[in-house]
Amino acid sequence: EAGVAQSPRYKIIEKRQSVAFWCNPISGHATLYWYQQILGQGPKLLIQFQNNGVVDDSQLPKDRFSAERLKGVDSTLKIQPAKLEDSAVYLCASSSIQGYEQYFGPGTRLTVT
Amino acid sequence: GQQVMQIPQYQHVQEGEDFTTYCNSSTTLSNIQWYKQRPGGHPVFLIQLVKSGEVKKQKRLTFQFGEAKKNSSLHITATQTTDVGTYFCAVNYGGSQGNLIFGKGTKLSVKP
């Protein structure tokens, strides 16, 4: 079974630029999560989708962050414009509707200079 | 917002010694999960605890959920170098099933 795929793995941008991350969850997993993990901290949930609907986006900074999962499969997370404090690893995870275990992808390491 | 306290932040042990990390909440939890993240890697699910006083074992790992469902611990017996990594608790306060709040983690290093 293929795991959660994410791309790119690394990205360096200047502040005020925009960036997008892509995630493809495990096949058949209805629930998809985006997390932000700042160095030395635990992952922080940004948004949770079930199929193509948003379950929770209460911690998503909506003035600059957006995410979509139009067809209920893969998802994109965008930051526009980026700030220095957005430097972090962005993790995507997925789970089945019946399951509680979250499977994480390798993450995208973003550096904002 | 709701937070979970995880201690210690770092733990350095000699191979063969035991290790314990604790997770504490001021509010009753619905359930708690534990994840392990190897250096440079991503979090990997270890276990979920749901019932008050629950104890689960996985080989050398023992997980406990407090009677009041406000705290939990992960204990590793006779650590090995393969146990190196950061151990996170992730708690659910009863929102959607996947709505987890992660602790800051305990970073374990093991000296051979």
* Residue range A98-112, pLDDT digits in tens: 788 999 999 999 999
Q: Chains A and B: how many Cβ contacts under 8 Å?
A: 53
Average pLDDT in the B11-15 region? 98
Model confidence at B95, pLDDT cuts 50, 70, 90, reads confident
Residue B61 has pLDDT above 70, yes or no: yes
Residue written as tokens 């995410």? A67
Q: What is the pLDDT of residue B74?
A: 98
Nearest chain A alpha carbon to B92: A100
Pairwise CA distance, residues B6 & B25, whole Å: 9
- Residue A6's SS3 state is strand
Nearest chain A alpha carbon to B42: A106
Q: What is the pLDDT of residue B1?
A: 63
Pairwise CA distance, residues B54 & B66, whole Å: 7
Q: What are the tokens at B30?
A: 């619905």
**Closest by Cβ to B104, choosing from A41, A55, A95:** A41
Pairwise CA distance, residues A50 & A25, whole Å: 12
For residue A56, the chain B residues in CB contact (below 8 A) are 95-96, 99
Pairwise CA distance, residues B62 & B57, whole Å: 4
Residue written as tokens 């630029």? A17
